[in-house]
Structure 1
Amino acid sequence: MEDLSHQFKEGDIILGYYEVLSVIGRGDFGIVYRVRGVRGRYRGKILALKVASNPYGVEYLWKEAQTLILFNHPNIISLQSYLYKKDRGELYVLYELMDVGDLKEYVLSKGGLSEKEALKVLWNITNGLAFLHSRGYIHSDIKPENVFGKKVLKSIVWKLGDFGLLKIRGSVSVLDIKGTLGYIAPEVFRGEIHRSSDIYSLGCLLYFTLFQRDPFHSEDRKEKLKRNKEGLYLPPEGVSDKVRGLLERMLERDYKKRFRTAAELKDYLVVEGLV
């Protein structure tokens, strides 16, 4: 799906405002550049610019931009502006730069996180997710690649990103169900999705931060799919009783037995002294 016909190189000036410093990444939607503002309101600032030039990417990013422009939360990636160039069929979306990168690469580079650091990541993302849930949204694609870190003083703040699959609660049909294998709640495979489905995905994310793999890891994709559908995760070992209990509740197959919302999970983390 990726259209590489409109690649920019280092030193190029995009839209007359942004100098390309490097390529951050590529995906089905297009290319993400690290840029510096050369004039206008972002002059001198280092930002991330996504450029989509294929129909799939434009549609996906347009939906994300239309949604993110409404959000303002410290644990949700901040959208700065966006522009659609109809004559080129290209969409440009400007975001704050997350200089640590995505959570997947960070965890793998560290060889897994300590419980303390993993719980900090969980707390940050639970806060962002609680904001979404309170406004009637379901993220529906929580995974390490969609969580990004930013250095703030001597700490890292983690933020939820990638809102192309965002759903409005109660508006989802079976045909809308998407996600990433290894992070999908069992009921989603049956055509159901709830706010607690996000909690399940968040539990899978917590598992990954601790063990560097999702809970249903298998070299055989069919076996992994079977495990994920049935919620048969690999038991967590070498963690405290409190964290094991937390994982077990977040990864409960019956969505009614999980935390119903991120706000409920936040309360639990505080009461149990996990943050």
Structure 2
Amino acid sequence: MPLFKRRDGATPAPNATIREKYDFRDVLGTGAFSKVFLAESKSEAGQMYAVKCIDKKALKGKEESLENEIKVLRKLRHNNIVQLFDTYDEKQFVYLVMELVTGGELFDRIVAKGSYTEQDASNLIRQVLEAVAFMHDNGVVHRDLKPENLLYYNQDDDSKIMISDFGLSKTEDSGVMATACGTPGYVAPEVLQQKPYGKAVDVWSIGVIAYILLCGYPPFYDESDANLFAQIIKGEYEFDAPYWDQISDSAKDFISHLMCCDPEMRFTCQAALAHPWISGNTAYTHDIHGTVAVHLKKSLAKRNWKKAYNAAAAIRQLQMLRLSSNSNRLQKQASQQQPTPPQPTPAFHA
């Protein structure tokens, strides 16, 4: 029996194959367990799609994760979310027929632009907030919002932005979220603290992205993940001079409400959309491309805060962070002659 049903709920006919409906063209990308192909529909001449081909052998043990991703994508029909159109479960591979997005990654496009303003950044963040608000209204938490997952729909100057990659997303009705997951640099404090969390983690990540959009470098950075996580937990970031001197107080206020360590006090997507920097006219219109592009180029070249997520390394760093924290607490409690309960070690999941 096929693992996955079509989007209309029907199970594909046993003999129906994806290659009967699509002509496969170029390889658009390659991942650890999959390839993405450019494909043309045989029934709609000229209609192109991105087909993700997932090796079932590599998928073994991860079927539930893929089923969850498909379930989430079927719930989300929004102008700024990459759409899943169909699925095919065949002998060796699972195929996901996705909306074709050709405009490239967010930061690469900004670097290539001739000019770029705070107002441009506001417009980008507004689109992301609208899409994430829609997700949250439908009980979905993305859990891995980052620049690499924000793509331009096409090459047009006024192209919309699209949210992609729902591999770590989860629905609220699937239970309490407490698993440490995400990407170092963009993950919220409560995730690192191993507390139950919810939609607010996505808002924190949007705050980090907004910060980078306005200066070109991340609010939290360290070669050591343990030190990076310690910065995030404490909410240690600055609006450094001279780079932030040209940015409006409204933008700084907006970011401060998104990157708020207390998830109960953090803005919701709806509150963020109502902020004057998004809904009003407080975003400055002077060109900041020169400053932002210089820093983005350096960051993109280093790939240190944009690198692929390394789960094993992150686990080691988190253990070090937890052990250091426990050691300090043990010393304090020993001086007060109070017993210390054992603490769980957090672990990230890629």
TM over 0.5: yes
Give the aligned partner of residue 115 of structure 1.
118
Written as runs of structure 1 = structure 2, the 5 A alignment for 1:86-125 is 87-88=91-92, 90-110=93-113, 113-125=116-128
1:209 and 1:255 mapped to 2: Cα distance? 22
| Alignment partner of 1:55 is 2:59 | yes
Q: Which runs of 5+ in 2 are unaligned?
A: 1-16, 284-350
Question: Structure 1 segments of 4 or more deviating over 6 A?
Answer: none
Aligned partner of 1:73 among 61, 71, 78: 78
Cα displacement string for residues 92-135 of structure 1 (whole angstroms, at most 9, x for unaligned residues): 11111111122243344449952122111101111111111112
Cα displacement string for residues 175-232 of structure 1 (whole angstroms, at most 9, x for unaligned residues): x331111111101112231222211111111122223332212334333232223222
Structure whose residues are more often strand by fraction:
1
Give the aligned partner of residue 25 of structure 2.
21
Contact 1:62 1:91 in 2 (8 A): no
Q: What fraction of aligned residue pairs are identical, expressed as a percent?
A: 26
1:110 and 1:254 mapped to 2: Cα distance? 36
| Alignment partner of 1:135 is 2:138 | yes
2:105 and 2:66 mapped to 1: Cα distance? 18
Equivalent residue letter for 1:105: D
Deviation at 1:72? 1.3
Q: Which runs of 5+ in 1 are unaligned?
A: 1-12
Equivalent residue letter for 1:62: E
* Cα distance change on mapping 1:178 and 1:82 into 2, 3 Å: same
* Cα distance change on mapping 1:271 and 1:109 into 2, 3 Å: closer
Give the aligned partner of residue 263 of structure 1.
270
CA RMSD of aligned residues (A): 2.6
* Cα distance change on mapping 1:153 and 1:199 into 2, 3 Å: same
Aligned partner of 2:251 among 243, 253, 266: 243
Which SS does the other structure have where 1:255 is aligned? coil
TM-score (normalised: structure 2): 0.66
1:187 and 1:19 mapped to 2: Cα distance? 46
Give the aligned partner of residue 172 of structure 2.
169
Which SS does the other structure have where 1:182 is aligned? coil
1:152 and 1:165 mapped to 2: Cα distance? 28
Aligned partner of 1:229 among 233, 240, 256: 233
Deviation at 1:63? 2.3
Which SS does the other structure have where 1:44 is aligned? coil
* Cα distance change on mapping 1:173 and 1:262 into 2, 3 Å: closer
TM-score (normalised: structure 1): 0.82
Deviation at 1:149? 1.2
Written as runs of structure 1 = structure 2, the 5 A alignment for 1:35-50 is 35-37=39-41, 39-40=42-43, 42-50=44-52
Contact 1:29 1:58 in 2 (8 A): no
Cα displacement string for residues 143-164 of structure 1 (whole angstroms, at most 9, x for unaligned residues): 1111121138651111222112
